[in-house]
Amino acid sequence: MNNLIELNAVTKSYDGKTAAVDHVTLSLPRGRIIGLLGPNGSGKTTLIKMLNGLLLPTSGEIRVCGMPIGSETKAKVAYLPDRTYLAGNQTITQILDFFADFYADFSRERAEQMLGSLRIDPKARMNSLSKGTKEKVQLILVMSRNAELYVLDEPIAGVDPAARDYILHTILSNYNPQSTVLISTHLISDIEQVLDEVIFMRYGRLVLYTSVENIRREKGKSVDAYFREVFAC
């Protein structure tokens, strides 16, 4: 079985009436960079949280690396949430120690190298850093793991265009080709160049799952242009 992620009729409803994710069935292979795209409220973040065990599906089944979500899958998934999840009073060095202790696939050397190239002081405390630098630190922590699945929720939303290029370069140069990177974002034009495949979601439902190449060939458009056409208000 080569599929890294298997979703079978996955539904999530917060209030028992409206489904944030509605009967999504999907299989994602290894070795791809996949864009998870959709307008606000389309269910992207809900789906990502379920993949990481932060939300439990109302119905359906999720498997990562052939296993239901649990401590074994969490050891194989590197997750970058859309918020700062590190304690503000900790130094970056302390956080590196923490990641090195808990994640067997964490490369401290790689993290220190990336921190150096971005001129981020490892002795700095998280609460002394700007929002953009915090996001960079979190991305460095995630991309310093040799994970099987990287799940990045809005990795470039809060940083300047120059930093975006660095982040995309970091993603491309650090992920294992046998791994899959799932990126959720609104900034399609910025990341389109690195994507192999895209998933379109709307109202919690799967609209489209295809390769970037297919969209360009069959629709004669960029992913960004096609997205605007599909989701035109």
Partner 1 sequence: MLGKLMKYEWKSTAKIVSIILLVVAGATLVGIVGMVFPIRYIITWENGASVDDVGTNISIVLMTMTAAVAFFICVFSMVGVNYALYGYLSVRFYKTMYTDEGYLTHTLPLRTGEILRGKTIVAVAWAVILNLCVMLATGILLGMGAMAFNDVLASVGLTNLSELARAWPELKEELVSQGLVAHAVHFVLAAVITIVVTPFGTLLTIFGGLSIGQLSRKHKLLLGILTTVGLFFLHSVLSQILRVMFTFTAMMARKPTDAAALTYIGTLDAGILTSLIMGGLMYFVTYQILSKKLNLD
Q: Which residues bind partner 1 (CB under 8 A)?
A: 14-15, 49, 52-56, 70-72, 74-75, 77, 79, 81, 83-87, 98, 101-103
Q: How many whole angstroms separate alpha carbon 194 and alpha carbon 190?
A: 9
Which residues are CB-neighbours of 29 under 8 A, at least 6 positions away? 2, 3, 4, 180
Closest CA to 11 of 25, 26, 27, 22: 22
Task: Tell me 216's DSSP state.
Answer: I
Half-sphere exposure of 23 (CA within 13 A, CB side): 0
Report the nearest approach of partner 1 to the CB of residue 153 (Å).
10
Kindly state the tokens that stand for 165: 């290029």
Report the nearest approach of partner 1 to the CB of residue 155 (Å).
14
Nearer to partner 1, 101 or 109 (CB): 101
Report the nearest approach of partner 1 to the CB of residue 74 (Å).
5
**What sign for the dihedral angle of Cα 142, 211, 13, 230?**
positive
Nearer to partner 1, 145 or 215 (CB): 145
Report the nearest approach of partner 1 to the CB of residue 188 (Å).
25
Nearer to partner 1, 136 or 227 (CB): 136
Report the nearest approach of partner 1 to the CB of residue 208 (Å).
28
Nearer to partner 1, 85 or 169 (CB): 85
In DSSP terms, 77 is beta-bridged to 149
Task: Tell me 162's DSSP state.
Answer: H
Nearer to partner 1, 98 or 166 (CB): 98
Kindly state the tokens that stand for 177: 């080709």
Kindly state the tokens that stand for 155: 């990795």
